[in-house]
Amino acid sequence: MGFLTSIGLAIPAGLNAYIPLLAVAVSNHFGWLDLRTPFDVLGSWWVIGIIVVLLAVEMVADKIPMVDHINDVISTLLRPAAGGLLFVAASPQASHVNPWLLVVAGVIVAGGVHAVKASTRPVVNASTGGLGAPVVSTIEDVLAGVTAVLAIVAPYLVGAVVLLVAALVAWMYVRRRRRVIVGAV
């Protein structure tokens, strides 16, 4: 279950580093989620306050066209790092696993999600004249929040969704390959 929680927290970190961090910090503060030492400091009120301020800045910056691009460039290091931190912090049951392997796994998961976000956002901005940025950003924030909460409350559901998305991507890949092969004949 710790692995599913960890992956379920790393995924939304690729969209917004601070939403899953805040969910984990508040959950730890109220005893709903145990974190691996020394990451349990996330549950301190002063850390929660810092995360709230950074989240407010991120949410505003991500909704303004062109500023969102600068924010994505800055977040290229930040979001994967948050994913790595969340992955290792939320997996105290995996104490037999080298923590750096968990960090790398979180960095890869959050980095992949961030790469997709950062590469699609300029297309959205260009195709909508910038009007799509706040809409897409709000959808991303809601997805990040829902995924982070589900990862804490119902990690098996996150696992099922991850498997469903992987199956959908595989199906789309196979379908496209078949079209290419049929088109070449």
Averaged pLDDT for residues 139-149: 93
Per-residue confidence band for 109, with pLDDT thresholds at 50, 70 and 90: very high
Tell me how far apart the alpha carbons of residues 172 and 148 are, in angstroms, rounded to a whole number.
Answer: 26
Tell me how far apart the alpha carbons of residues 32 and 154 are, in angstroms, rounded to a whole number.
Answer: 12
The Cβ of residue 24 has, within 10 Å, a number of other Cβ atoms equal to 28
Which residue type occupies 9? L
H or E segment and range at residue 68: helix 67-89
Is residue 69 classed exposed, middle or buried when 0-12, 13-18 and 19+ CB atoms within 10 A define those classes?
A: middle
Per-residue confidence band for 2, with pLDDT thresholds at 50, 70 and 90: confident
Nearest to 113 by CA among 152, 156, 84: 84
Which of 31-35, 90-94, 148-152 is the least confident region?
90-94
In the prediction, which pLDDT does 183 show? Answer: 67
Per-residue confidence band for 52, with pLDDT thresholds at 50, 70 and 90: very high
How many domains does the chain fold into? 1
pTM of the model: 0.85
In terms of residue numbers, what domain contains 26? 2-184
Answer yes or no: are the C-beta atoms of 28 and 43 closer than 8 Å. yes
Answer yes or no: are the C-beta atoms of 102 and 95 closer than 8 Å. no
Averaged pLDDT for residues 117-134: 87
Per-residue confidence band for 36, with pLDDT thresholds at 50, 70 and 90: confident
CA angle 43, 45, 47 (to 5 degrees): 70
